[in-house]
Structure 1
Amino acid sequence: MTSTPILTGDSLAAFKIEKLSMTSNFVDWQREIFLVLRTYGLAEIVNGEETIHQHETPHQRNCFRIRQAKALATIVFSMEREEARKFEGLIETGDVVRVWRAIREEYGQRSLVNPVTLLAAVFSRKMHEAESAVSYIRSLERLQQEIRKTHSDLSDEWLTKIMLTNVIDVFPDISRKFTVDNAQGLHTPLLSEAKNMLISRDNIDTASGRRPLNLCGDISVFETIEDTPPHTLFMANGNEEVVKQKGTVVMLLFNEHSKKMEERLLEDVYYTPNASLNIISLDYLQNKGKFQFSFSPDQQSCFATKATIRLRFVKKDGLYRLRATRKDAHHRVNAIDVEDNTTMLHQRFAHASTGTLAKMQASGAAKGLNLNMAKMNDYECLPVRALLQATDLPESLWGEAYLHAVHTVNVTATKALDGRTPHEALYNQVPDVSHLRTWGCLAYATVFDQQRERKQKLQPRVVPALLVGYADESKGYKLLQIPSCKMLTHREGNIRFMERHTLTRTYATRMLTNAFGDAVPPTHRVITCRWVYAAKADADGYVVRFKARLVIHGFRQRMGIDYFDTYAPVVRFDTIRAIFYYALWRKWEILQFDVKTAFLHGELSEQVYMELPPGREGNKQRVCRLLKSLYGLKQAPRVWNLTLHNTLLSLGLRRLDQDHGLYARQVGDAAPDLLLSVYVDDLLIMGIKSSCERLSQQLRTHFELTSLGQVRYLLGIEVSFSPTRDSIFLSQATYIETILKRFNMTSCNGVATPESKHETLSHEKTRHENMPYREIIGAIQYLVSGTRPDLAHATRYLGQFNAHFEWGHYQKAKRVLRYLRHSTDFGLVIKLDKQDTPLLETFTDADFANDATDRKSVSGYVTQLDGNTISYASKKQGVVALSTAEAEYVAMHEGARDIMWLGALLDELGLPFKKPPTLWCDNMSTVHLSTKPSKHSKMKHVDVKYHFTRNLVEKEKLATRHCGTNEMPADTLTKPLDRVKFERFRDMLGVRSKATWSGDTEPSWAVIPQTADSRMDT
């Protein structure tokens, strides 16, 4: 059966299901294809539960037809082409309900014969001669499962009877015995017993020669070996051999094409220590090795060929024999060091004991020994541990130390072999140990021309290295080059050994110690990194400099291992607007500074490992452990913020409680004489110029600061001062131009309002991914946070359709961009009034039952200080209000929280304002609810938290007053308005054009009361 991915649309994932090709798989196919249909909401269409008549609008009917076509395509593409042609007429009609019913009628009736067909397959299933018992049992169990899927059953007892009956061709004795026992009415074995009986008998027959197998009696040629269940082999000479292990043997075969020896693995080789011959099964080479066999005319030679490899077997004593050469584990270099002494030989033999070396010298067990026993120390230790401790090499080289220890043990005399070496016992010859050198000693190796790059031709031709072993494929030594840690292989003549110098004794050469580091803990991962290139622009959009920054891939970090806390406070935009007014009121300077590479200053408490940066040449096995923070780390902002916080505290500043991104310096209870705001690495210092410069000099002793002078461009906001320095204009004109260019709206026609008054949008079930709707909303949101409260309601309203939107929503978002084209140079004005004591007030409004879907109201508020907009919001209420008064009451609660926060901030700054602050509302009933308890009997269902305003009024911390609708600037934050009202309230919010901006001029038509009482209706 073939498996193909079924696609039901652009947004559907691929499902691999078995195509419908015969009646035997209809049940599985029906279940799987219905799961696909149900996953994507198409099952109701196929079953006929959802019809086109249930949809009213043309758009909904068109969507239904598209989903119907997807369902039909899913079904048809999951069938074999021959099967689909049977329903070709129905498929052309496009009626998926009729097609589905026809398929179920066709295959559902025919599938009733499935149990009979499967049962016949079980009875006819016989075990073949070349088949294993496990494969035969699995095939029967698979058929049993298929029968059970058809709601029929084949009991284990009947399966056991069929299984034992149908093995007569392979195990006739078992089959006949079961037939006799069954005829006599004896107990039928359990299914598990029958399976164990067949598998055990199959293993025994395989081991006894009925099945092809490979045997080897030399354990030294095994590459890998493992324990197996013991079973007995019956040899041709009548001897029995108990087999307990099997493994893989490496064979060296001659490649006639490349004229080189190649390694091949011979698997499933049984270790038979008492066998006199090694046996390779010809059936194994033919079936698994894919060799082709041919015989000579006289039948005395057998040839096995495969591609470029050709093996010749010669017949002798009834067996075809293959001539083979043993492959030693390690090659030796026959050379004699004239400077050998007892201490050196002790180190060369992996710290072998004194007695062992003395006996080897006396008995001649090894060639090349020249011992001076007076210089030996009588001690023993484990070879690997001794090698690592004696050389101070890292534990990461334990594998090389182990191989060196094994190599030396093989040429070291042992009592178990009556003073002979394992090498002599195996090869019947005394080993030559003149090639041994001290493991971990210093060596100088020649670098050949073919190993050098063109850019390295002026580098030394001899490099320092450490001896770590002996080469496997050639007669040479394995060297670890330092400090690059590259592995080299060189012959004796190209190396000069300095055996009296190891890593411990050469600390004067610093590069040796720098070549190694601690191993990465197993619980940590090495994180990748990359270079990020950026161009930094000024307030006019011109590139002032190019930056290259190394950024770590923080998304690969894991919580609780590579990082813990990540929160880092920054100053709020509301606070920035408030301190701008405060600086005007105090007649302070506002200086801007930038901290260079801020994230690189903080020290990490976690263990973070990073790979070497791109372009950094060095050993790829080495990594970096970060001691200080780096851009891209999840904890980098927090680490930097803590570092800066501790520095500011040491300089005498304190962090304000109302905003942890704002610091002040004050003496006693006096007003602060200096402010410092922090937004990541952007610092604003406000105060007398001499105080600001003094603080900047103190900060330069800790960080590298760039002085940008008087603030001009902050976080994408352009800051302009009036000539008299009594007003500030905040705008984002450059950012607006970037948005318009990004969405191809630079040359569009502008409109006077961001929203149409009477048009509404609906929630759609589908979403068009090819429209940049959410990108537009996200880009405008930053404008709202910075300088454009006139866009707050439009952004909130369009943002609730981010999950599902269509063409109509996209057009509404583009209308906001057209309004930006019309008002590109508009911004927020902060001016200093002539009053000595500023007025703090908040305007709240609500649009009752604004959303037709859930009937929740919309709240809006704007908090002003001395007529300047400081904070504002437009948000949908979390509860359903039962009346206009209740909706306004909820909005008043939200405005009360904001004005109390701003009042607390001004108290910390020492800025006097008229108390209590005023909360304005254009609904008289709501004002009464906040001041008169007699009205509260009808408000028991209102949540307790919304009575927060009344509590503040009772404590005289807040005053609530009524305001006429025409004097309510928060009205534009709750609903779309016509052009006249929108422009009036926009000006009351302080949003004006830079061309008409001046520090103390109001529009001629705008009548903004100067006192609280004048806002009340008469």
Structure 2
Amino acid sequence: MPYTPEQNGCCEQEHRTIVEASRTLMHAHGDLPKGLWAEIINTAAYIINRTGVSGIEGKSPYELWVGRKPSIKNLRIIGCTCYAHIPKQFRGKMSKKAVKGILIGYDENDGYRIWSLDKLKLIRSRDVIFDEEPLKQVEHLNSDKPEEPDESCVDFRRFLEKKDETNEHLDPNKNENPDTPSITEDEGGPSNENVSDDGGNVEDEIPDRVLRDRETLRPPERYGFDALVMSAETDVLNLEEPKNYREAINSENKVNWEKAMQSEIDSLHENKTWTLANLPDGKKAISTKWVYKVKMNPDGTIDKFKARLVVQGFSQRLGIDYEQTFSPVAKASTVRTLLSVAASKNMKLMQFDVSTAFLYGYLEEEIYIKQPEGFDDGSNKVCKLNRSLYGLKQAPRCWNQRFAAFLLKIGFKQSNADTCLFLKKTESTHIMIALYVDDGLVASIREEDLEIFIRDLKKEFKITTKPASYYLGFESHQQEGRITLNQKAYLKKLLERFGMENCRPSPTPMIQTGEEKDIEDPAKKEKFPYRQAVGGLMYLMVGTRPDIAYAVGVASRTLENPTWNNWVQVKRIFRYLKGTSQLGLLYKSGNNSLVCYSDADHGGDHSTGRSTTGVVAMFSNAAISWLSQRQTSVSISTTEAEIVAASEGAKEVIWLKRLLLDMENLDCRPTLHVDNEAAIKLSKNPEFHRRTKHIHIRHFFVREQVTSGELVIEQVDTENQLADC
């Protein structure tokens, strides 16, 4: 019968056994956070399955299921303090080597599940040192003597007798000499949250061995518990960002986070973001959460503590709570082109940040949210939104429409090439604005026009302004008639993140040696943070470093199943960046021609036989746009590969021409440089029919542009081909 669990007495009894065991584990060795109850229940089931059960003669559930006795040599005291090893890929030379935590369970891949006390999140690790204090003897309620342990627990109790014994490093995958405990520093993992190795069950791989008298086993001093604690406490200032409200109010920076939350609430009330109301029938209130961020300056110092109230928009329903969600942002090419034009005209630069920008957007739908955690007045009412709020699916779109409407009202026009570029041009006024969500970059010929615009902007929105020196992670420095752009601060953090800050520089980002076989050394089979590294490099490449575009593009092809050889190639890119950290882009006046270079390496990708397209566009003596991408089909000749690349270059340069026409009325004929004579002839006339009849018609876009006079195509020597792949 439904809703009558009493009918299944065996199941209910088993549930009770697990719950009572879980409750004991939660409180036996210090009170564990109640939010970990699910982990503790899993741990209780893990232990019960490996322990003798009354009614089953001397056999544990595990033995009955798999047919062999389990090993309990990996068991430790749940709730004890422990230190999980941090792989060298995630720490610098002088950083701490371990993270402090509490043991809460056992991982299915021969490791331990640990609650990090520093980061307040779950991590998994195989290499752990435990600080187990012996459990105090607890008198039995009905006896003068402690209850005698059964035989199945004897081995487990032996593990709890001596602190020296529990401070050993346990490696479940190796049959170590017990006289020489080791702390392996080279075992890695794909991320800070998962540093375990793949493997089978713990019971399958732990060999049985006779335990010697632990009184005589003393690990070397360098492996001792105190040494590890000293390493773990090297970080004096803890700037971990809380994951939720509870972590924020219990963190070392509680006062700073409370001020940040109060500032956010004040902004919400100031903008009349919501009105308290009773929840109407048929409506559902959406939950909210706090998001915390420590804003840093380019030099690594703290800018401010920022708290943001966001709606959990994943619960919104299409057609009821939202309709359209798309919201554009300024393209990186647009930002660089704006800076190149500013350099050529010696324009004044300023950047602004709109505080709580999404609160200015107007909602078309009727939406209710729950009162924010920590600021609930206890009235059981909900908040009816009058404005958009962070986390709503339509919030970015609402804000973008509001900002665009304001600029159009005060005389600006929206670019057709990039809808996040706004322009105002008269005989005496020339202002350009690029908007990336709530961060804006402004360029103006006259400083008084810039001041007038900022004054109008402050009347409509709450903003902060400063000279354009650090925009979207790009560091810019302006002098008379020239602007430099780089990402040195970001590169420094990137090198430190992957432990490459002290690496030996390399003269090139990669070595092209053809198809390479992976290294078969078993020692190189450890996991490495390949995806994270390539992702970090990609932002650098997209921003200011076209010189690593090809190398990063090649590295991104193996994200699914990278090999050790691929990881070595990525580290070579880091080594190249270490030696060229001062490089960037230099825009200067004197050359207002738009030129583009296109090239292709025929069959350069040995795994697919496809070629790689390389394109770079120049204005004001520096690159404003570039790409390096594998072509979508196999080219059977160099001519075909080059014509495909030329078509990509033509598309990019035609768009840039429209962008420059909007920015400064520059109606020029861009030049496309190609180093393949046959491709140039084919782009002008339909020659070589027998050898080119299979080429898709879309690749002859370049011929149409040349015929119509939109661009000029010229030959360039290979030595001067800037887009050489």
With the length of structure 1 as denominator, give the TM-score of the two structures.
0.43
Q: Select 1:707's aligned residue among 465, 470, 495.
A: 465
Q: Select 2:352's aligned residue among 593, 604, 620.
A: 593
| Contact 2:295–2:303, Cα closer than 8 Å, also in 1 | yes
User: Is 2:434 the counterpart of 1:677?
Assistant: yes
User: Is 2:360 the counterpart of 1:607?
Assistant: no
Q: Are the structure 2 counterparts of residues 516 and 679 from structure 1 closer, same or farther at C-alpha, using a change threshold of 3 Å?
A: closer
Where 2:688 maps in the other structure, the secondary structure is helix
User: Structure 1: which amino acid aligns with 2:658?
Assistant: A
Where 1:826 maps in the other structure, the secondary structure is coil
User: Is 2:485 the counterpart of 1:730?
Assistant: yes
Deviations 1:728-787 (A, max 9, x none): 1111111111111222222222212111221645799xx989421111111111111110
Q: Select 2:335's aligned residue among 551, 565, 576.
A: 576
Deviations 1:190-215 (A, max 9, x none): xxxxxxxxxxxxxxxxxxxxxxxxxx
Please show how residues 345-364 of structure 1 align to structure 2 within 5 Å. none
Partner of 2:387: 628
Deviations 1:269-288 (A, max 9, x none): xxxxxxxxxxxxxxxxxxxx
Deviations 1:795-821 (A, max 9, x none): 111111111113222222222222222
More relative contact order, 1 or 2 (CA 8 Å, 6+ apart)? 2
Cα displacement (A) at 1:549 = 2.0
Partner of 2:277: 517
User: Is 2:448 the counterpart of 1:690?
Assistant: yes
Q: Select 1:868's aligned residue among 619, 622, 627.
A: 622
| Contact 1:671–1:910, Cα closer than 8 Å, also in 2 | no
User: Structure 1: which amino acid aligns with 2:543?
Assistant: G
Please show how residues 522-561 of structure 1 align to structure 2 within 5 Å. 522=282, 524-561=283-320
Cα displacement (A) at 1:535 = 2.2
Q: Give the distance between the partners of 2:525 and 2:277, measured in 1 at CA.
A: 53
Structure 1 stretch displaced more, 810-819 or 871-880: 810-819
Where 2:558 maps in the other structure, the secondary structure is coil
Q: Are the structure 2 counterparts of residues 701 and 813 from structure 1 closer, same or farther at C-alpha, using a change threshold of 3 Å?
A: same
Q: Give the distance between the partners of 2:691 and 2:567, measured in 1 at CA.
A: 43
Q: Give the distance between the partners of 2:371 and 2:276, measured in 1 at CA.
A: 14
Deviations 1:601-621 (A, max 9, x none): 112112222211111143373
Tell me, which stretches of 5 or more residues in structure 2 are unaligned? Answer: 1-9, 12-59, 69-273
Structure 1 stretch displaced more, 777-786 or 531-540: 531-540
Cα displacement (A) at 1:692 = 0.8
Q: Give the distance between the partners of 1:792 and 1:576, measured in 2 at CA.
A: 18
Partner of 2:661: 907
Q: Give the distance between the partners of 1:575 and 1:891, measured in 2 at CA.
A: 22
Cα displacement (A) at 1:726 = 1.6
Partner of 1:773: 530
Where 1:606 maps in the other structure, the secondary structure is coil
Cα displacement (A) at 1:877 = 0.5
Cα displacement (A) at 1:945 = 0.8
Deviations 1:581-640 (A, max 9, x none): 211222211111111111111121122222111111433732222221122222221111
Q: Select 1:854's aligned residue among 599, 608, 623.
A: 608
Q: Give the distance between the partners of 2:397 and 2:65, measured in 1 at CA.
A: 65
Q: Give the distance between the partners of 1:718 and 1:632, measured in 2 at CA.
A: 29
With the length of structure 2 as denominator, give the TM-score of the two structures.
0.60
Q: Give the distance between the partners of 2:697 and 2:280, measured in 1 at CA.
A: 55
Q: Give the distance between the partners of 1:910 and 1:625, measured in 2 at CA.
A: 45
| Contact 1:763–1:804, Cα closer than 8 Å, also in 2 | no
| Contact 1:582–1:911, Cα closer than 8 Å, also in 2 | no
Where 2:422 maps in the other structure, the secondary structure is strand
Q: Are the structure 2 counterparts of residues 880 and 560 from structure 1 closer, same or farther at C-alpha, using a change threshold of 3 Å?
A: same
Q: Select 1:953's aligned residue among 706, 709, 712.
A: 706
Q: Give the distance between the partners of 2:280 and 2:659, measured in 1 at CA.
A: 48
* Percent identity of paired positions between Structure 1 and Structure 2: 34
| Contact 1:550–1:631, Cα closer than 8 Å, also in 2 | yes
Cα displacement (A) at 1:920 = 0.7
Q: Are the structure 2 counterparts of residues 760 and 561 from structure 1 closer, same or farther at C-alpha, using a change threshold of 3 Å?
A: farther
User: Is 2:400 the counterpart of 1:641?
Assistant: yes
Q: Are the structure 2 counterparts of residues 528 and 911 from structure 1 closer, same or farther at C-alpha, using a change threshold of 3 Å?
A: same
User: Structure 2: which amino acid aligns with 1:865?
Assistant: F
Where 1:721 maps in the other structure, the secondary structure is strand
Partner of 2:680: 927
User: Structure 1: which amino acid aligns with 2:693?
Assistant: K
Q: Select 1:817's aligned residue among 555, 565, 574.
A: 574
User: Structure 2: which amino acid aligns with 1:805?
Assistant: P
| Contact 2:615–2:626, Cα closer than 8 Å, also in 1 | yes
Partner of 1:750: 505
Q: Are the structure 2 counterparts of residues 569 and 515 from structure 1 closer, same or farther at C-alpha, using a change threshold of 3 Å?
A: closer
Q: Are the structure 2 counterparts of residues 555 and 819 from structure 1 closer, same or farther at C-alpha, using a change threshold of 3 Å?
A: farther
Please tell me whether Structure 1 or Structure 2 has the larger radius of gyration of its CA atoms: 1
| Runs of 4+ more than 6 Å apart | 77-80
Partner of 2:106: none
Q: Give the distance between the partners of 1:770 and 1:822, measured in 2 at CA.
A: 26
Cα displacement (A) at 1:515 = 12
Please show how residues 237-636 of structure 1 align to structure 2 within 5 Å. 517-522=277-282, 524-619=283-378, 621-636=380-395
| Contact 1:768–1:805, Cα closer than 8 Å, also in 2 | no
Where 2:586 maps in the other structure, the secondary structure is strand
Partner of 1:842: 596
| Contact 2:334–2:434, Cα closer than 8 Å, also in 1 | no
Q: Select 1:917's aligned residue among 659, 670, 680.
A: 670
User: Structure 1: which amino acid aligns with 2:496?
Assistant: K
Q: Give the distance between the partners of 2:718 and 2:301, measured in 1 at CA.
A: 45
Partner of 1:415: none
Where 1:933 maps in the other structure, the secondary structure is coil
Number of residue pairs the alignment of both structures matches: 459
Q: Are the structure 2 counterparts of residues 842 and 543 from structure 1 closer, same or farther at C-alpha, using a change threshold of 3 Å?
A: same
Over the aligned positions, Cα root-mean-square deviation in angstroms equals 2.9
Deviations 1:968-995 (A, max 9, x none): 0101xx2xxxxxxxxxxxxxxxxxxxxx
